[in-house]
Amino acid sequence: MRILLTGGCGFIGSAVVRHIIRNTEHHLLNIDCMTYAASEENVASIADDPRYQHQRISINDSASLEVALREFQPDAIMHLAAESHVDRSIDGPGAFVQTNVVGTYSLLDVARHYWNSLEGEKKDAFRFLHVSTDEVFGHLSMDAPPFTETTPYDPRSPYSASKAASDHLVRAWHHTYGFPAFVTNTTNNYGPYHFPEKLIPLVIINALEGRSLPVYGKGENIRDWLFVEDHACALVRAIERGVPGETYAIGARQPRSNIEVVRKICALLDELVPDPAGPRERLISYVTDRPGHDFRYEIDPSHAEKCLAWKAEHDFDAGLRKTVQWYLEHKDWWQPLREQRYDGQRLGAKK
Ligand code: TYD
């Protein structure tokens, strides 16, 4: 297949790019406009492969997108480009509406015209995968059953509202125009190349630097953690087998409270690189809660597991160990991000 993928220099996108080039025969055009969270280094290991190319184009730039589609002639589009950090969406929601809602509209519109220009088998086989989040379903109480494909939408943050809007657009394009699109909604990802503003990389790096580990509220909030390489595998299965109009809810069956996650990272670091000053749990600092903080996300992935013949390979302990080891071995990747581009003001600042 010839796959056009958006957001391939970000965290999840680059995992998909690496997976496709290493494990399949597909050709890939990565469309990434390189926002703060993107890096060429995330795809450096496969960038010289003749099946890979990257163009620095925004999904809001319809004219350039149109040319890219016409020239590359994709069989499928995987749409991963998005603003994704909830705290940033609270501080500045405009970028989330612009990229996640307007950008998805602009990509859908150009993609539909391209699809209309195709004929015969190429047109019938064309697929558009929109990669989304489980946060569109709102949040769960402790006892509620996990989200499934039929859970009603109830987004509660500017981020999740913008993703919900984009999901609705994609489904409307399918129902109204017959556009062969489908959606995946996935739980929290973690793993190598995760930008150090998110909980897991932030805690690993802060703990290594002996800085405080900011836990929002009481640390009781629960996330279902999926190792990013397992997610990449699921998305590739989805683009190869996904049925237009379908939804696939992808999760790892690995729910953990934030405080459990933070404690586990501390224990792993204490084992791998002991700190002469003492156990890292001493660095945990409970800080002011995130406004409107969603309590619990969890997915029942049964439908996706069955339809995509996929299952997350890593349990949380195995995936976290790999992740911590990766951050220990890749200081050259995260140190410049911390120094040049990441404003760490929030770290433990709000006691
Ligand atoms: P995050 O990685 O931002 O992902 P999301 O909000 O999309 O789930 O946060 C994961 C959880 O960790 C979430 O409940 C908020 C919490 N959190 C902290 O307690 N401290 C932090 O410094 C950050 C960034 C997140």
Question: What percent of the chain shows pLDDT beyond 90?
Answer: 95
**What tens digit of pLDDT does each residue of 174-196 get?**
999 999 999 999 999 999 999 99
Whose CA is closest to atom 17 on ligand 1? Answer: 199
Looking at the domain assignment, is residue 328 inside a domain? no
Domain with 60 in it: 2-193+225-253+296-314
How far is CA 85 from its chain centroid? 10
Which atom number of ligand 1 is nearest to the Cα of residue 290? Answer: 15
Check if 223 has its Cβ closer than 6 Å to any atom of ligand 1.
yes
Q: How far apart are CA 267 and CA 186, in angstroms?
A: 27
345 has pLDDT over 70: no
Q: Tell the residue number behind the tokens 């996904």, with chain if given.
A: 242
What pLDDT, on a 0 to 100 scale, did the predictor assign at position 337?
Answer: 87
Check if 258 has its Cβ closer than 6 Å to any atom of ligand 1.
yes
What pLDDT, on a 0 to 100 scale, did the predictor assign at position 45?
Answer: 98
Question: 260 or 347: which carries more pLDDT confidence?
Answer: 260
276 has pLDDT over 90: yes
Looking at the domain assignment, is residue 138 inside a domain? yes
Å from CA of 157 to ligand 1 middle? 13
Looking at the domain assignment, is residue 175 inside a domain? yes
What pLDDT, on a 0 to 100 scale, did the predictor assign at position 13?
Answer: 98
Looking at the domain assignment, is residue 277 inside a domain? no
Residues noted as catalytic: 134-135, 159
Check if 188 has its Cβ closer than 6 Å to any atom of ligand 1.
yes
Among 88, 198, 199, name the best residue to mutate to test ligand 1's pocket (greatest count of ligand atoms within 8 A of Cβ): 199
What pLDDT, on a 0 to 100 scale, did the predictor assign at position 350?
Answer: 33
Token readout for 238 is: 């989805």
218 has pLDDT over 70: yes
349 has pLDDT over 50: no
Determine which of 5-19, 78-92, 333-347 has the lowest per-residue pLDDT on average.
333-347
252 has pLDDT over 60: yes
Which atom number of ligand 1 is nearest to the Cα of residue 297? Answer: 8
What pLDDT, on a 0 to 100 scale, did the predictor assign at position 340?
Answer: 62
What pLDDT, on a 0 to 100 scale, did the predictor assign at position 309?
Answer: 97
What pLDDT, on a 0 to 100 scale, did the predictor assign at position 338?
Answer: 81
**What tens digit of pLDDT does each residue of 298-339 get?**
999 999 999 999 999 999 999 999 999 999 999 999 998 887
What pLDDT, on a 0 to 100 scale, did the predictor assign at position 323?
Answer: 98
Domain count within the chain: 1
Which atom number of ligand 1 is nearest to the Cα of residue 197? Answer: 24
341 has pLDDT over 60: no
Question: What percent of the chain shows pLDDT beyond 70?
Answer: 97
User: What confidence category does residue 209 fall into, taking pLDDT thresholds of 50, 70 and 90?
Assistant: very high
Check if 216 has its Cβ closer than 6 Å to any atom of ligand 1.
yes
347 has pLDDT over 80: no
Check if 221 has its Cβ closer than 6 Å to any atom of ligand 1.
yes
User: What confidence category does residue 346 fall into, taking pLDDT thresholds of 50, 70 and 90?
Assistant: very low
Looking at the domain assignment, is residue 335 inside a domain? no
Half-sphere exposure for 156 (CA within 13 Å, toward CB): 16
Å from CA of 23 to ligand 1 middle? 31
Which atom number of ligand 1 is nearest to the Cα of residue 223? Answer: 8
Question: 321 or 347: which carries more pLDDT confidence?
Answer: 321
Looking at the domain assignment, is residue 351 inside a domain? no
**What tens digit of pLDDT does each residue of 119-174 get?**
999 999 999 999 999 999 999 999 999 999 999 999 999 999 999 999 999 999 99
Å from CA of 180 to ligand 1 middle? 34
Looking at the domain assignment, is residue 285 inside a domain? no
Looking at the domain assignment, is residue 19 inside a domain? yes
The CATH number for 175's domain is 3.40.50.720
Whose CA is closest to atom 6 on ligand 1? Answer: 86
**345 phi, psi to nearest 5 deg:** -55, -35
Region 226-251 average pLDDT: 98
What pLDDT, on a 0 to 100 scale, did the predictor assign at position 76?
Answer: 98
Region 226-253 average pLDDT: 98
- Using DSSP's 3-state secondary structure scheme, residue 208 falls into helix
